[in-house]
Amino acid sequence: MANEKFYIVAADALPEVFLRVAEARRMLQVGEADTVGEAACKAGISRSAFYKYKDAVQPFQNMKAGRIITFYTLLKDTPGVLSNILSIFANSGANILTINQTIPTNGCAGVTVTAETSEMHESLEEMMTEITAAEGVLKFEILAA
């Protein structure tokens, strides 16, 4: 659809049926269930609920797979902080396309990193969690996808 809109919503804010549809899809993808009926039953939903929402509900990292994403991060102006962040990108399998850094002011620098994520061998959420927890990272978020 040309006017299709997407929203990022925290999993705990979603109705339970959406989470169960996502779980049923996962079971089918990894072979824990052989049929839609079996996956729906294991997830505790009806087949009709699965079919109604199956194309509309996906885990965040699946929606971003194979995409170019621009991240914004605010880093402390300390030696090695940016290098550490770039290592996390590399270790996740993301391919960095561009890096832009502002001149540090007040002990901080804004950095945008654009990366291609289709070859990542860990989830986008895992990489983002690791970067957010890294020393010297004050802020880390998706700027554009």
- The answer to whether position 84 is within a domain reads yes
| Pair (50, 71) in one structural domain | no
The total number of structural domains that make up the chain = 2
| Pair (130, 82) in one structural domain | yes
For the question of whether the overall pTM of this predicted structure is more than 0.85, the answer is no
| Pair (46, 74) in one structural domain | no
| Pair (69, 137) in one structural domain | yes
Tell me the pLDDT of the chain (145 aa) as tens digits: 456 677 778 788 889 999 999 899 888 888 899 999 999 999 999 999 999 998 888 766 555 445 788 999 999 999 999 999 999 999 999 999 999 999 999 999 999 999 998 888 888 888 999 999 999 999 999 887 7
| Pair (69, 107) in one structural domain | yes
For residue 79, the enclosing domain spans 64-144
| Pair (52, 80) in one structural domain | no
Residue 99 has a CB neighbour count (10 Å cut-off) of: 14
- The answer to whether position 1 is within a domain reads no
d(CA 143, CA 98): 14
11: DSSP letter: G
Nearest to 40 by CA among 58, 28, 55: 28
